Amino acid sequence: MAWDPHVQLNFPPTDARWHVALVGNDGVTWGSTNFTLSQQDGANIAAIFAAEERQAELNVGGGAQTYITRYPKAFQTGIVIGDKKYMASTAENGALYGRKGADGVCVLRLSGGTGFVVATHDAGLHPILLNQHLGEFIDYLKKMGY
């Protein structure tokens, strides 16, 4: 399956405020728009997800025990893409978020665990807009079995 058309449909390459890549756990980019993620950077992000820790949440009300999956390595290494190192602000439950000044990064793990979507944005784009588009794209990928 060619990924570039699906990525570009959701993140038009004419809008240079965001940069999106669909990446496998081996670090290889399956599809992208507006930037190239090196295989080493992709593998480093996959390593953040691989070093997960599960923590039980406080069980109030006697319901079933729930867990939070955290990625402490993101806070130790940051999220590095090219020559830019984003400081992690959130790293749990299949999502990594980071900032470098007014620029940001969002990494969402695919539900099947086969890879992840990396998206960066510059100061000209509000992160909520990027997250909305990413959410729609992830929903599409889930419907396709990823």
Domain boundaries, given as residue ranges, for the chain: 16-143
- Whether CATH 3.30.450.30 fits 16-143: yes
> How confident is the model at residue 74, as a pLDDT?
96
> How confident is the model at residue 142, as a pLDDT?
82
Which range, 3-12, 16-25, 27-36, 84-93, has the best average confidence (pLDDT)?
84-93
Q: How confident is the model at residue 71 (pLDDT cuts 50, 70, 90)?
A: very high
Per-residue model confidence as pLDDT tens digits over 111-133: 878 899 999 988 877 778 788 87
> How confident is the model at residue 109, as a pLDDT?
92
| Mean pLDDT (the chain, rounded) | 84
Residues in contact with 36: Cβ distance below 8 Å, sequence separation at least 6, in sequence order = 21, 29
Backbone phi, then psi, for 112, in 5-degree steps? -80, -5
Which residues on neighbouring strands pair with residue 116, listed in sequence order?
23, 109
Q: How far apart are CA 34 and CA 36, in angstroms?
A: 7
Where b means 16+ CB within 10 Å and e means fewer, 110-121 reads: beeeebbbbbbb
Closest CA to 140 of 44, 1, 28: 1
Look up the pTM and report it. 0.85
